[in-house]
Structure 1
């Protein structure tokens, strides 16, 4: 098996539920479920047996309507939420042999700081709005054990240049920036420790179309330059079409279809995916 056949990230049977479940919904009685909500006990099954691999240098798109489970999935992958059950392995951590979800909180922090970067839909979750932009990057570097001020200044400046933040604004706080610039600072922060894997959760939602286009162009050029693997969540198939090599379609917590992005867009098999594609045309 060559390196390019070994997944950077492998997720197996990831489940996340809110609520204890009951005999009816746990027993699989579909009559008790409305979509992924149990009418009897009120449990929500946000992710149901989600499995996928991400390969080196690949962009995997995850698309679905609001409530399909895609953002919950991203929160689980970055340890913002605890999974109910399931496995995840990263090739750069313990040779891909340890289930990330069973590691200690200390080890999960290590994985967040060294192996993954995440860009949140809401920049308030990914940035300290009162810190300077370069200070936000330094925070991530310090969390990974760096303490050399010159190195952090140099790395921060390099990354802010890469994401087209003007040099004279690098010591300015993100609260003074536009939404598009805040997302650029988040991207720079997420890339600070050379992670092999980047998680992007609805990064263009709420931005003007011209700003969306510039953020997507930036992501595309950085991905090509750095050869980084990306998991990209969006409800917008236009974003998926532009960036993703392969795509998973989620509905009611389940993956209902997956394949090469061109295949999904040109020959969707599931009625929901057909509806999604037709809404794009």
Structure 2
């Protein structure tokens, strides 16, 4: 049973704020905030005491409107930003005994390069647009300590074939690709070192509907074939419904609802979640 398993990722009380806070907003209840913003001092509480777990082979969906804190959460998990407070534990790192947020910069790079992959909303953040697709994957492999050119190229070709990049285009730079193909290259790069955890941040935003569908199908195939755990962020409950085993709903930097995706869809408890579900009908 899931509750008896060791989680792949465990996050406890993750907190991220922009600003030092003041007497009006430092209280844990933060009752004087305007959504997640303090009008007295201008501090933004982007993530407020977020806790969750991700288990082996499952997809956790994180859904919420723009400004809800979901993308900030992903940036903190991948060390693109420092947390203000909180803990996170990866079972693949020191068997889950060390808070990864408290590790040195060198250890964080190790975790990024070996134990996590991230697919960004904007491919410009995840790819070198002037490198070839093979070169992008090679960069990730080199960062993890690989040096054998032949094996790196073979791994790159294998992954690019898996995400349906035509063989004759593997040496092309992503700048010449469509948005959907760029996301496929990002996914291949993120998978290059067999990470136990994949983070996907709004990967279908801005894509045409038909392209969105093909990217979502690819994600489902990868989850099935690689048995990899994923955290998928989206403002679109339709995407979460299609992919996620469990769903976490965020609003104003807080988790307002959390449960099995089917349960959240069929019996939403919070009024905001009810609005999201109603928008699907």
Q: TM-score range by the shorter chain?
A: over 0.9
Superposition RMSD in Å? 1.3
Q: Deviation digits for residues 98-140 of structure 1, max 9, x if unmatched?
A: 0000000100000000000000000000000000000000000
Distance in structure 2 (CA, Å) of the matches to 1:68 and 1:87: 20
Q: State the partner residue of 1:257.
A: 257
TM-score normalised according to structure 2 size:
0.98
Shift of 1:43: 0.1
Per-residue CA deviation, residues 181-205 of structure 1 (Å, 9 max, x unaligned), is: 0000000000000000000000000
Using structure 1 for the length normalisation, give the TM-score: 0.98
1:275 counterpart SS class? helix
**1:2 Cα shift?**
8.9
Query: Who is 1:137 aligned against?
Result: 137
Whether the 8 Å contact between 2:196 and 2:229 is mirrored in structure 1 is yes
Match of 1:37, SS state, is: coil
| Superposition pairs of residues 118-129 of structure 1, within 5 angstroms | 118-129=118-129
Residues 72, 148 of structure 1: alpha-carbon distance in 2 compared, 3 angstrom cutoff: same
Superposed CA deviations along residues 52-95 of structure 1, whole A, max 9, x for unmatched, are 00000000000000000000000000000000000000000001
Counterpart in the other structure of 1:271: 271
Tell me the CA shift for residue 24 of structure 1: 1.2
8 Å contact from structure 2 (residues 59, 229) kept in 1: yes
CA contact (8 A) 2:2 2:55 kept: no
Cα pair 2:117 2:197 within 8 Å, conserved: yes
Deviations 1:4-35 (A, max 9, x none): 71000000000000000001100257453100
- 2:194 corresponding residue in structure 1: 194
CA distance, structure 2, for counterparts of residue 176 and residue 255 of structure 1? 39
- Residue by residue over 1:207-234, the C-alpha shift from the partner in whole angstroms, topping out at 9 and shown as x without a partner, is 0000000000001011100000000000
Q: Secondary structure at the match of 1:277?
A: helix
CA separation of 1:19 and 1:209: change in aligned 2, threshold 3 A: same
SS at match of 1:279: helix
Residues 4 and 56 in structure 1, CA contact (< 8 A), matched pair in contact too? no
Identify the range of structure 1 (30-39 vs 227-236) with the bigger mean alpha-carbon deviation.
Answer: 30-39
1:10 aligned residue: 10
Structure 1 segments unaligned to the other structure (5+ residues): none
What number of residue pairs does the alignment pair up?
281
2:60–2:246 CA contact under 8 A, matched in 1: yes
Aligned to 2:20: 20
Is 2:54–2:229's contact at 8 Å kept on the other side of the alignment?
A: yes
2:154 is matched with 154
- Give the aligned partner of residue 92 of structure 2: 92
1:131 touches 1:174 (CA, 8 Å); kept in 2?
A: yes
Distance change in 2, residues 1:46/1:3 (3 Å): closer
Matching of residues 30-45 of structure 1 within 5 Å: 30=30, 32-45=32-45
Query: Following the alignment from structure 1 to structure 2, what is the Cα–Cα distance between the partners of residues 54 and 28?
Result: 26
1:103/1:40 CA distance change after superposition, 3 Å = same
CA distance in 1, matches of 2:225, 2:4: 17
| CA–CA separation in structure 1 for the residues paired with 2:126 and 2:78 | 12
Give the aligned partner of residue 222 of structure 1: 222
Q: 1:171 is paired with a residue of what secondary structure? A: coil
